[in-house]
Amino acid sequence: MMDSREELASHFTQYSKYGNKFPKAIEAVLSGNVKKHTFSPSGRVVLTVVGRDGEEFIDPERPFCSCSNFFFKVLGGGAELCYHLLSYKIASESKRLDTVAFSDEEYASLLGAISRDVLTNLKEQRR
């Protein structure tokens, strides 16, 4: 009998081409770390993935991720995507996005908290 990790991985073998990013993405999905923050009544959506260093903003349409791997490897041409974006693909396709509802009044405070995470991560990586 397969565990949920093996079962999810077997459904998305096309993404195994991303090497060590694939199991990290599977783990992020199974841990509920791929978040869709929805705001009412505006309908705004903010997508994030909680990684080992905190939450990262993602925009799969552009594609964009606020992680350092995206800036240095993806934009530098050394990788197609980061594991955060891969996690989103798998979570979205498997209907495993963790959706969190907020009111529009909470929009600024959520963005502020996530931005602080991103800036703290960048400072830590410089050391």
Q: How far is 117 from 43, CA to CA, in rounded Å?
A: 24
Give me 8's structure tokens: 């999810």
Token pair 């939450």 is at which residue? 55
Q: What is the pLDDT of residues 17-75, one digit of tens each?
A: 999 999 999 999 999 999 999 999 999 999 999 988 788 999 999 999 999 889 889 99
Residues in the chain: 127
Q: How far is 37 from 7, CA to CA, in rounded Å?
A: 27
DSSP 3-state assignment of 19? coil
Is the peptide bond preceding residue 63 cis, with omega within 30 degrees of 0?
yes
| pLDDT band at residue 125 under the 50/70/90 scheme | low
C-beta separation of 28 from 34 below 8 A = yes
Q: What is the pLDDT of residues 79-113, one digit of tens each?
A: 999 999 999 999 999 999 999 999 999 999 999 98
| pLDDT band at residue 118 under the 50/70/90 scheme | confident
